[in-house]
Amino acid sequence: MRNVHRRHRAARRALGLVALPFLAATGAAPAAAERPQNCLAPGADCTLAEAAHQSGIFVGAAVGNELPDLEIAGVLAHFNAMTTENAFKWGSLSSQEGVYDFGAADRLVDFARRNQLRLRAHTLVWHRDGFLGTPQYVRDAVAKAEDPAARLRELMRQHIETVVARYRGRVDLYDVVNEPLSLFTSGFDTEPAFGFAANVFFETLGVEYIDLAFRWTHAVDPRAKLFLNEIVWDPHLGDPKADAFLALASELVARGVPIDGVGIQTHGQLSLTSPFFPSDSESFAEYMRAFAALGLRLEITELDVPLPLLAGASDPLAAQAEVYRRVVRACATASNCSAVTTWNVHDGRTWLDFVWPTSILAPNEPLLLDASLRPKPAYFATRDALLERCEPPSELPGPTRVAWTLLRRLGAACSRAYPRPFPPPWRP
Ligand code: XIL
């Protein structure tokens, strides 16, 4: 019962905050300047952003090119990080060699900086043309070139240097390479599959295309954190694609490539095999820790859980909340997991409503906020799961556990690995 009251209060409070963000977006005092409350204090009623701050885990959302008002309001009231949904994709930025339109990217970078949101720029190199990943001129140039490898290296290098130099010091983190592996197998896309062309970067340069992209990005902005992002349907040790991704990351580290971490997209519901991804938190957390052993951070980068797939449950919204809880709990228990990002801000605009096959099921309502920015059960499950990072480590002896718990109740940061002030600068 108490929980229900807390939830209603949080929902009211979150809605009340909706007006503030408009001020922030138009240049008045940023909403994030408000001092966050201690989410562990009795009677506390935290927003997701406050729980994110306290747990030391960034919580972000993917924001569209047009930066609609409702997304501005949602992000500022509930999140402390954001990802550019499309604005940094090569195919969004440039339709002709050497010609760039930075309008949307500039808008999103300015918005993030003005409001002290951690900014993930997605993505510099992605072989999928249909999804704005790679413009057609890249493929055409490579096809016509006498020395395709040299030509592609030239195009990639120019692209990376142009974009990263423009935003040097203003982007916290890049998804340098997106989805290097095939969707449903553990190799690279050497043939067209599922309506997408083969991976022109891999075909032309081999796996070295990944190394080059990271090295060139790092050379231009050595302070930006660099991530390799991948869709892993079933992230646990022993799953072929999950293992292949871990092996790929491990090879990059062994070759001295400047990589800080990996992103796991999730989007598990699109998988043919594991629609209720992941089946448990502990095996996912164990998979995360395998990256910690390589010195890498891990972030959940594109989370969404479509409601229609849970229609068989007696309470689909509660079932959706449980999927979110499983994923976020895994992150809270693995200390190298530093962020969770939902793919879009609210149920009123989700890519799943436009992309086949989930478009057939629209409305998918896969996110934490409904189309009016009201927090859903999944919102509270996510918030509570984040705060599980505040639980004392199981190895602590009795009296130390009590002291630990007390300190956290007084507001000490929960994360042992990455305590950060609020708003969190991404400069650990
Ligand atoms: C999607 C966007 O959400 C859509 O708006 C766009 O039309 C296609 O791309 N994995 C990724 C993201 O890494 O870039 C994709 O984003 C979703 C799947």
Contact 128, 179 (CB under 8 A): yes
The CA 42 to ligand 1 mean position distance, Å, reads 40
Residue 7 scores a pLDDT above 70: no
Residue 32 scores a pLDDT above 80: no
The phi-psi region of residue 191 (left if phi > 0; otherwise alpha if psi is between -120 and 50; otherwise beta) is beta
pLDDT score at 268: 61
The CA 281 to ligand 1 mean position distance, Å, reads 25
Kindly state the average pLDDT of the residues 97-124: 96
Q: For residue 199, which of 263, 142, 250 has the smallest C-alpha distance?
A: 142
Q: How many CB atoms lie within 10 A of CB 323?
A: 23
How do the residues of the chain divide into helix, strand and coil, expressed in percent and rounded to 5?
A: 45, 15, 40
85 CB within 6 A, ligand 1: yes
Q: What is the pLDDT of residues 71-107, one digit of tens each?
A: 999 999 999 999 999 999 999 999 999 999 999 999 9
Q: Whose CA is nearest to atom 16 of ligand 1?
A: 85
Residue 36 scores a pLDDT above 80: no
The CA 122 to ligand 1 mean position distance, Å, reads 10
Kindly state the average pLDDT of the residues 353-357: 90
Which of 85-99, 177-191, 336-350 is least confident? 177-191
Q: What is the pLDDT of residues 381-405, one digit of tens each?
A: 999 999 998 887 777 788 888 888 8
pLDDT score at 400: 83
Measure the CA dihedral 153/159/163/168, to 10°: 20
Residue 30 scores a pLDDT above 90: no
265 CB within 6 A, ligand 1: yes
Segments in 42-102 forming alpha helices (H): 48-55, 69-78, 90-93
* b (16+ CB within 10 A) / e for 211-242: bbbbbbbbebbeebbbbbbbbbbbbbeebebb
pLDDT score at 1: 36
The CA 85 to ligand 1 mean position distance, Å, reads 7
DSSP 149: H
203 CB within 6 A, ligand 1: no
Report the C-alpha gap between 315 and 325 in whole angstroms.
15
DSSP 246: H
Contact 63, 108 (CB under 8 A): yes
What atom of ligand 1 comes closest to residue 64's alpha carbon? 5
Could you identify the residue written with the tokens 């996110």? 367
Q: Whose CA is nearest to atom 3 of ligand 1?
A: 351
pLDDT score at 12: 37
pLDDT band at 11 (very low <50, low <70, confident <90, very high): very low
* One-letter amino acid for residue 46 of the chain: C
pLDDT score at 22: 34
Give the sign of the dihedral formed by CA 414, CA 418, CA 419, CA 423. Answer: negative
Contact 76, 31 (CB under 8 A): yes
The CA 133 to ligand 1 mean position distance, Å, reads 9
The CA 66 to ligand 1 mean position distance, Å, reads 15
DSSP, residue by residue, 376-407: PHHHHHHHHHHGGGGSPPTTS-HHHHHHHHHH
Q: Whose CA is nearest to atom 4 of ligand 1?
A: 351
Q: What is the pLDDT of residues 195-218, one digit of tens each?
A: 888 999 999 999 999 999 999 999
pLDDT more than 70, % of the chain: 86
Q: Pocket of ligand 1, candidates 82, 83, 85: which has the most ligand atoms within 8 Å of its Cβ, to mutate?
A: 85
Measure the CA dihedral 346/352/355/360, to 10°: -120
230 CB within 6 A, ligand 1: no
What atom of ligand 1 comes closest to residue 131's alpha carbon? 8
Q: For residue 231, which of 324, 126, 102 has the smallest C-alpha distance?
A: 126
Extract the tokens encoding 141. Answer: 């140039």
175 CB within 6 A, ligand 1: no
Q: What integer best gives the mean pLDDT of the chain? A: 86
What atom of ligand 1 comes closest to residue 343's alpha carbon? 3
pLDDT score at 342: 98
Give Rg (Cα) of the chain.
Answer: 21
